[in-house]
Amino acid sequence: MLFKIKSYFLFLVKSTNQHGVHSPFVYNLVTKCFYNRTKRKSYEKIQSIISKKSSISITLNSAKLLNRTIPYFDYKKVLVLKKKPDTIVQIISENNEISTYTSFQNNVTFDLVFLEINYFMSNIDILDAILENTHNDSLLLINSIRYTKKNFDIWNTIQKHPKVTVTIDTYSLGFVFFRTEQAKEHFIIRK
């Protein structure tokens, strides 16, 4: 618990909003998706889903952001790597026309991979498998990146991977992009 409090304080000190972003790709993502305050039809259902689950590891704000990220990028194929994926599948599917998967499939390239960081801890080679099943514009979205020191260490390791170009730390969610045309950058953004 002490790590989580300290981590949150450091996040607040180091984080910025859209005015501290010099990448057009990230600036557009922050202003048009992260800070989009338009109420979506899905939000009421998402709130209901989260309120019924006492052990859910995603916050309501993060769930809403996850749900609106899909139409922002126009993603169609989503992989959820989590021990109990049902709740996340419900959140991302609500009011979004997508195909969801809970395991790797032959000949399927994913637009978005949602990864519970605990899943990564049990399978350290998962990042290589993800890279083999994604494309240049895919997003790896990692949950709970700052909840424990071990989670944060894994997050820092992922950022250093040679194929990772852009990472965005929103405290609870970590956005990872593999865009070859993008310079390697890391952003800490308040959402």
17-34 burial, b for 16+ CB within 10 Å, e for fewer? ebeebeeeebeebbeebb
Predicted pLDDT at 121: 64
C-alpha 106/C-alpha 86 separation (Å) is: 22
Range in 18-27, 38-47, 59-68 the model is least confident about: 18-27
Q: What percent helix, strand, coil does the chain show, rounded to 5? A: 45, 20, 35
Structure tokens at 81: 């790597």
Range in 6-20, 99-113, 132-146 the model is least confident about: 6-20
Structural domain boundaries in the chain: 2-188
User: Which residues lie closer than 8 Å to 27 by C-beta, 6 or more apart?
Assistant: 18, 21
Q: How far is CA 144 from the centre of its chain?
A: 9
Predicted pLDDT at 88: 93
Q: Residue 56's pLDDT band (boundaries 50, 70, 90)? A: confident
DSSP characters over 121-164: HH-TTHHHHHHHTEEEEEEEEEE-TTSSHHHHHHHHHHHHSTT-
CATH code linked to domain 2-188:
3.40.50
Render pLDDT for 115-164 as a digit per residue (tens, 0 to 9).
988 776 666 678 889 999 999 999 999 999 998 899 999 999 899 999 99
